[in-house]
Amino acid sequence: MGSLTAIFYNLGLAGSLANIIGGTIGIVMFTYLGDFIQAWFIKKFPNYFGKRFTPTNRFLVKVKQKFGLGGIAAFTPIILSIPVGVLFALALTNDKKKIMFSMIVSMLFWASVLFLPYYLFNVNVFEWLKNIFER
C-alpha cells in the first residue's frame, strides 16, 4: 500500500525513500518483536490462532515447502504485508539476520520494480498492469 500511495499521490523521490525506510524499520521491528507479538496474539485469542487450515494457511504452507524463506520474502512486500511475512518467516527459522536480509532484499527489489520505471521513464506500473488485465 505504501508504494501505491507514493505513486498515486505523486510524492516523488522523498515519498519513495520514506516508503523504503519505513519498510526497513518495519522489517527490523517485527523481526525482533515478532516472538513477543506471536505469544501475545496466541494468549489473547487462543481459539482464533489455533491450528486451523484456511486457504491462506494452505497457500503459505505451499510457499514454505516449495520456496522456503526466499519465497516468503519474495511474496511479503506485494501480497502478505511486512508484519505477516516476517511473523511467518519467524515460524520457519530463528535466524533473525537471515530473515532481515532476505526481507530487505525483497523489499528493495519490489521498490525498484515499482519506482524506477515510474521515475526514470514515467511509466506507472500499476496503470500498465491494470490495462493488461482489463483486456
pLDDT in tens, 2-42: 666 776 677 777 877 888 899 999 999 999 998 898 888 88
| 69-101 per-residue burial string, b: 16 or more CB within 10 A, e: under 16 | bebbbbbbbeebebbbbbbbbbeeeeebeebbe
C-alpha cell at 83: 508484519
The tens digit of pLDDT for each residue in 88-120 reads 898 888 899 999 999 999 999 988 887 888 778
**Domain extent listing, the chain:** 2-134
How far, CA to CA in Å, does 129 sit from each of 12, 38, 106?
21, 35, 20
Sequence-distant (6+) residues with CB within 8 A of 84 are 76
